[in-house]
Structure 1
């Protein structure tokens, strides 16, 4: 796989697109922690911090599929660049005005989330035109996921460093400026400017007419809720331990665990249906969330956070392949954006539930919300296994069978949160 990754990165524009997308997604990847830290610096409680995080996530969740469909219809630069500017401006207003007046704070956070550019979906839609072969595309999914885990490990540390050196408000501003620059690097590239979606069948449901896609979205809504709860519970746990920096270590450990799991998963090729493999991976993921409710000392808790992340990356990598198999023709960006949406809504709900659970209970109750999310994801996949089956082949341009890779080896992987 290392050789496959190197070959893929040597392809013209591949490294630029991957790096630009990762940097462009920094605001989304760090939003939960950055918003919680900023709200706490304004002497407000976890309930408000969770509510604002939820508003951001819901705005992001609503905007991703809408902007993704617009990208499929009108191309990437005409949609992504204006949305990136509006998103950064929304978070800048939030950092400037703070929590007074509160309605303006809610509106600014909602705008920042709503206009987050669909860089994830856009990148995965670009890979076929940039890389050509299916093996390279699968390797790109894997490397995409590995690189995201690096970002999720480093991102919280960057936010904490900026907050400690300057202020939580400065952290919000710097992260969002970096996000804007990342989006700019993507949309000014020739592949992004020249990309056009496949012809699509007119249907008001768009990508959502795929039953298999709906199953994946339901499962990852639940996984997102688990991660959203962990983000808020980690800050509460750190506060109870007397060191606010512990929250960054816990979230970084979650990312490092996912990175390790992804690298190990990517050392081999996988035969058989990815739909079945997804169920097995999510089972392991749900089990690894359970020890978090023990809330031991900081060192042990950091190790448990790493364990909780181990199967996240493989789950996401496998989901990328499943979404690609089940997405209707001409709906690639929208389908991948719906995955981001389901993850984002879940994370928002998890954050919103974890806030009151912590405030009226304990930090252990916040982590219990994540356990419930993992269990629910597993139940969704088990209850709908008859719907998430290998899709029938359909022939596209060049007589290449699309969405029918049953029995073919899938290059291993390695992937990131929030989808």
Structure 2
């Protein structure tokens, strides 16, 4: 069993690993801050909350559509040819919004749609690179945990960063700066040697692409409901803060949830796990669902903060384990697209959660809106339980998770060009 600190340091010392991780996080800042940035910009321009919500919804829908399409393009044409142009076009969309404002609503909506549609699939691209950058199976699995934890940090720090930029300059300037930073992050990734050398494995022509894998569909169905649970918590948290008369309570609850995820992800990634990841994922999602259920009790602030932290403990481990399952079930030549579908499904589920939790508060109470999160967790587990047989048969016989411990990580993606080597290779996941 590897220790957390040494194991994580070992990953970050690998050639290109730290650059790829940090570049991806920086490149995804526009996506992490998009909804908040749109609300702040719209309000600064004198627009209503309804308009802000409409722009944010269009951005979310466009991103959900664009991710798997761009992911498939990456698998077909490589990372450099897709990721960088996408990042530039997405940034130009937000720049256009900053320039035209909300005076012309068709132009504003078109700008936001452009920004969302061309959000680069950096997240899926990074996970496609990990096996050949890190080599061994255990290092790849630990990198997935680092990846999941880093997401929690990004989605916590990102909104704070955009708020800081607004206070320093203006909402329009903040929109421009955060997207320039995002392009710089994408550039850092795609100009690296592993990214430039990356080529996808041969793929069978099929219009469904990654979605022709029954196991991947089962996983996506489960993570739609996990996304729903998280989306409902964001709305329920606002309602809880209103009930207690302090806006700061909302930030406290989300910070506690993120802290729990950081702790859980850190502990999970610090050791090697035996057995099939599909079976382990069922256990993790069951524990995640159990963590969501007590939130409906809505006790006092101190107890609610503790429950929020508890509800986050198994989030990052569940996501990290899901990454392994995606790699095992993605058809050959579709790895980036498969990871991008996970991003899309999770995002659509979160949007559905916010849509359901709002009426739950108005028709019932804050407890009802938190109950939506519990129901989402149970539904996610039910999907995994109902599809055990489908998930028991990996779509690829030599996925990262199925490689020999201690040997270089291999997958159907790597098999075309030979075993991956630490650092970089000319293989597809390098």
Q: TM class by shorter-chain length?
A: 0.7 to 0.9
Distance 1:406 1:106 in 2: 47
Out of 139, 144, 150, which is 1:147 matched to?
A: 150
Report if the CA contact (8 A) 1:273-1:390 is conserved: no
Distance 2:293 2:366 in 1: 14
Cα gap change, 1:43 to 1:370, in 2 (>3 Å): farther
Aligned length: 402
**Does residue 77 of the first structure (1) align with residue 74 of the second (2)?**
no
**Does residue 256 of the first structure (1) align with residue 259 of the second (2)?**
yes
CA RMSD of aligned residues (A): 2.8
Cα gap change, 1:43 to 1:73, in 2 (>3 Å): closer
Out of 3, 8, 17, which is 1:5 matched to?
A: 8
Report if the CA contact (8 A) 2:253-2:305 is conserved: yes
Post-superposition Cα deviations, 1:76-95, rounded to whole Å, max 9, x if no partner, equal: 11111111112222233445
Distance 1:247 1:160 in 2: 16
Out of 204, 207, 211, which is 1:208 matched to?
A: 211
Distance 2:355 2:165 in 1: 25
Out of 36, 48, 52, which is 1:44 matched to?
A: 48
Distance 1:233 1:100 in 2: 33
**Does residue 351 of the first structure (1) align with residue 348 of the second (2)?**
no
**Does residue 370 of the first structure (1) align with residue 351 of the second (2)?**
no
Structure 2 counterparts to residues 262-281 of structure 1, below 5 A: 262-281=265-284
The answer for the alignment partner of 1:412 in structure 2 is none
Post-superposition Cα deviations, 1:356-394, rounded to whole Å, max 9, x if no partner, equal: 544666554443333332222122112222211142764
Report if the CA contact (8 A) 1:83-1:115 is conserved: yes
Structure 2 counterparts to residues 72-111 of structure 1, below 5 A: 72-97=75-100, 99-111=102-114
The answer for the alignment partner of 1:135 in structure 2 is 138
Report if the CA contact (8 A) 1:32-1:228 is conserved: no
Deviation at 1:55, TM superposition (A): 2.5
Structure 1 or 2, whichever has the larger Rg, is 2
The answer for the alignment partner of 1:178 in structure 2 is 181
Distance 2:285 2:188 in 1: 34
Cα gap change, 1:238 to 1:222, in 2 (>3 Å): same
The answer for the alignment partner of 1:416 in structure 2 is none
Structure 2 counterparts to residues 385-400 of structure 1, below 5 A: 385-391=388-394, 394=397
Out of 331, 334, 352, which is 2:334 matched to?
A: 331
Deviation at 1:48, TM superposition (A): 5.3
Report if the CA contact (8 A) 2:295-2:308 is conserved: yes
The answer for the alignment partner of 1:199 in structure 2 is 202
Deviation at 1:178, TM superposition (A): 2.3
The answer for the alignment partner of 1:234 in structure 2 is 237
Distance 1:161 1:389 in 2: 47
Report if the CA contact (8 A) 1:160-1:245 is conserved: no
Deviation at 1:140, TM superposition (A): 1.8
The structure 1 segments of at least 4 consecutive aligned residues displaced by more than 6 Å after TM superposition are 406-409
Counterpart secondary structure, 1:269: coil
Taking structure 2 as the reference length, the TM-score comes to 0.84
Report if the CA contact (8 A) 1:232-1:354 is conserved: yes
Structure 2: runs of 5+ lacking an equivalent: 407-430
The answer for the alignment partner of 1:414 in structure 2 is none
Taking structure 1 as the reference length, the TM-score comes to 0.86
**Does residue 310 of the first structure (1) align with residue 313 of the second (2)?**
yes
Counterpart secondary structure, 1:199: coil
Counterpart secondary structure, 2:15: coil
Cα gap change, 1:27 to 1:233, in 2 (>3 Å): farther
Deviates more, 1:282-291 or 1:368-377: 368-377
Post-superposition Cα deviations, 1:149-194, rounded to whole Å, max 9, x if no partner, equal: 2223322332343445555555444333322221111112121112
Structure 1: runs of 5+ lacking an equivalent: 395-400, 410-419
Cα gap change, 1:402 to 1:287, in 2 (>3 Å): closer
Out of 397, 402, 410, which is 1:405 matched to?
A: 402
Post-superposition Cα deviations, 1:2-24, rounded to whole Å, max 9, x if no partner, equal: 32322222121111000000111
Deviation at 1:265, TM superposition (A): 1.5
The answer for the alignment partner of 1:116 in structure 2 is 119
Deviates more, 1:7-16 or 1:88-97: 88-97
Deviation at 1:108, TM superposition (A): 2.7
